[in-house]
Amino acid sequence: MNFTEWESYYTEILNKFGFPKEKDEKTALWLSNEFKKVCSLENRNDKIFSILEEKISRRPVVVCGNAPSLEKEYIAFLKEKSRGNEIYIAADGAATVLLQNNRIPDIIVTDLDGKHPNDAIKEIEAVDKGALLLVHAHGDNLDKLEKYLPAFSDKINQNTIIPTCQCRPPDYLLNFGGFTDGDRCVFLADAFNAASVVLIGFDFKDPSVLPLKKKKLECAEKLIQLIREKEQNPEKIRFYSEL
Ligand SMILES: Nc1ncnc2c1ncn2[C@@H]1O[C@H](COP(=O)(O)OP(=O)(O)OP(=O)(O)O)[C@@H](O)[C@H]1O
Ligand SMILES: Nc1nc2c(c(=O)[nH]1)N=C(CO)CN2
């Protein structure tokens, strides 16, 4: 979804959470400047788009959310449903769970704000092993970006680290739509025309989450539903429980 289409959903989310747009824009600009220091803007978006297209287009995709059910569903998916040719897109802390199960995610979508402090360290490890990292700027993660971005500095120039935001994107940043890391994985797969998307590790009724996370998960559920309704083929995006 491009920004023009995304903007009305974005405004609704800002109002729902009381997040100021200016704070999102400030972090996005900071991230843009970090990229400006080390790489040229010329042809950059073309390169990034072709990298993502090569990874995702016409491929079966497994999107991994980080609900407590993730590990069990991953093991069951591998045993019972996988054809062995899927690419894995992990939402933030889901990357840690995949790594613990000997799977390097192909792509990680993160705001570096996962529930375990170790998640960002594991994401750095996954990038060293070949994962692409979509690193997200929003109004409440500037501190995390400042802390962890230096660990990726040698990769910024190699198009392995792709900066994203939820506001209107400044130079270098991309916005495919979506809010939480998990639903943004689905927006990404949809933007690059995945052949199919299976979601594992999504539990919108998880009783263990705190109220703010619960509210964020409500948004994630609605946004995933929105993408599913836009899809001409209703079978294309399915939760594990629907397989
Ligand atoms: N029950 C759940 N608990 C946590 N995450 C879930 C759950 N169900 C789905 N998810 C998805 O997994 C993603 C990754 O969650 P994680 O807790 O690792 O990161 P997070 O940085 O806290 O997520 P976010 O910042 O997007 O809220 C979430 O963005 C959400 O979309
Ligand atoms: N400003 C702001 N934006 C967000 C936030 C957040 O806490 N603040 N959290 C998100 C997913 O957790 C996504 N976007």
In this prediction, residue 106 carries a pLDDT of 98
- Any idea what the Cα angle at residue 58 is, between residues 157 and 64, rounded to 5°? 70
Sheet holding 237-239, edge to edge: 161-165, 132-137, 107-110, 87-91, 60-64, 196-200, 237-239
Question: In the prediction, which pLDDT does 28 show?
Answer: 98
pLDDT value, residue 175: 98
Residues of the chain with pLDDT under 50: none
Locus of tokens 């594990």: 240
**pLDDT for the residue 232:** 84
CATH of the domain at 237: 3.90.1480
Residue to substitute in 62, 72, 92 for testing ligand 1 pocket (most ligand atoms within 8 angstroms of CB) = 92
> Which pLDDT score, from 0 to 100, does residue 32 have?
97
Number of domains present in the structure of the chain: 1
Is the CB of 180 inside a 6 Å radius of any atom of ligand 1?
yes
Q: What is the pLDDT of residue 31?
A: 97
pLDDT tens, 198-232?
A: 999 999 999 999 999 999 999 999 999 999 999 88
> Per DSSP, which regions of the chain are E strands?
60-64, 87-91, 107-110, 132-137, 161-165, 196-200, 237-239
Rounded Cα–Cα distance for residues 236 and 238 (Å): 6
Specify the pLDDT at position 237.
Answer: 97
Q: Does residue 95 line the site of ligand 1, with CB under 6 A?
A: no
- Please give the residue range of the domain that contains residue 23: 3-242
Query: pLDDT for 23-44, tens place per residue?
Result: 999 999 999 999 999 989 998 9
